[in-house]
Amino acid sequence: MKIKLVIPVILALLICNVGFAAHHEMAENPNEAVAVNWLKAQATGKAETIAYVSEHFAEDGMIFGGRYVGFGFTWNPEDDSKMVIERIVPGSPASKVLRPGDEFIVVKGVRVNKRTMDKLSFRGKPGEPVKATIKRDGKRLNIEVERGIISNNYGKADLMANLESGDASNWSAELKVNEVVSKGSVVYVWTTRKDRDDKVDLPFEAHIVTRFFFNDAGQVEAIANLSEDRFVLEQTGYSISR
């Protein structure tokens, strides 16, 4: 997919600790314009995102995704009737047992379908074994995977594949750029994003701080962000419990 974060305070501390200077005129650092326009393209549409990322993301660039506890795989969420693995995080628990193309049939006694998709036991306490049944090459297999801590990092090829598989019809969101902070090759952008959760048909907003690192050619070499994930879930009616 959230303790509410006071993003302005976090950003201010970050600035003090590392000695970054705020630049309100993007002309002072051309990397600022690229970072801001990257986020604006993401909030505009699928085609705009793909075009901008393709042009400005370095071939050896990396996305540093948020860590979580789970198996370590991705699937196409647009197909909400079944769960077929598209990508497996290298070094994750899933990498030892699962393959791209495997389809989950049952997870910890719960049959996978549209109604149960949000109730499957992939997330939870690390180290706990989860029994599941998958379909591979037309055959059913019983497996067991222990949850682990996943560092979800991936490169340009995986990012482009994820973007291409996305649904263009519900891509856009309302984005406000609050502040841009930079020094040389590093740019921080603090934004407020307003969107709608299609599953529960409720609106939400979140503050996000995105960190861009640029190479000498002015291309984006690394991206990571800090966002109000728990706050988003609570706005759409989910309860966070252990």
Domains and CATH numbers, the chain: 7-66+152-235 (3.10.450.50), 68-150 (2.30.42.10)
| pLDDT digits 0-9 by tens, 174-226 | 999 999 999 999 999 999 999 988 778 899 999 999 999 999 999 999 999 99
Q: What are phi and psi of 46, to 5 degrees?
A: -65, -50
Q: Provide the pLDDT for residue 119.
A: 80
Q: Provide the pLDDT for residue 79.
A: 73
Q: Provide the pLDDT for residue 242.
A: 52
Average pLDDT over residues 160-182: 92
% of the chain residues with pLDDT over 90: 60
Q: Provide the pLDDT for residue 10.
A: 41
Query: Which of 21-25, 46-50, 52-56, 213-217 comes out lowest in average pLDDT?
Result: 21-25
Query: What span, in angstroms and rounded, lies between the C-alpha atoms of 145 and 199?
Result: 28
Q: Provide the pLDDT for residue 240.
A: 65
- Residue 50 pLDDT > 90: yes
Query: What span, in angstroms and rounded, lies between the C-alpha atoms of 97 and 182?
Result: 43
- Residue 11 pLDDT > 80: no
Query: What span, in angstroms and rounded, lies between the C-alpha atoms of 96 and 141?
Result: 15
- Residue 25 pLDDT > 60: no
| pLDDT digits 0-9 by tens, 101-134 | 999 999 999 999 988 887 888 878 899 999 999 9
21 or 162, which is more confident? Answer: 162
Query: What span, in angstroms and rounded, lies between the C-alpha atoms of 71 and 206?
Result: 26
Q: Quick one: pLDDT band at residue 232, thresholds 50, 70, 90?
A: confident
Average pLDDT over residues 8-34: 56
> Any residues with CB less than 8 A from the CB of 184 and at least 6 apart, and which?
29
Distances (CA, A) of 116 to 20, 51, 54, 108: 47, 35, 36, 12
Q: At what angle do helices 156-164 and 46-56 cross, to 10 degrees?
A: 170
| pLDDT digits 0-9 by tens, 58-107 | 999 999 988 889 899 988 777 777 899 988 988 899 999 999 999 999 99
Q: Provide the pLDDT for residue 224.
A: 96
- Residue 239 pLDDT > 90: no
Q: What are phi and psi of 240, to 5 degrees?
A: -100, 115
Question: Which three-class secondary structure state does DSSP give residue 83?
Answer: strand
Beta strand 68-70 with 153-155: parallel, antiparallel or unpaired?
unpaired
| pTM as predicted | 0.75
- Residue 9 pLDDT > 50: no
- Residue 164 pLDDT > 80: yes
- Residue 169 pLDDT > 80: yes
- Residue 7 pLDDT > 50: no
Q: What are phi and psi of 239, to 5 degrees?
A: -105, 135
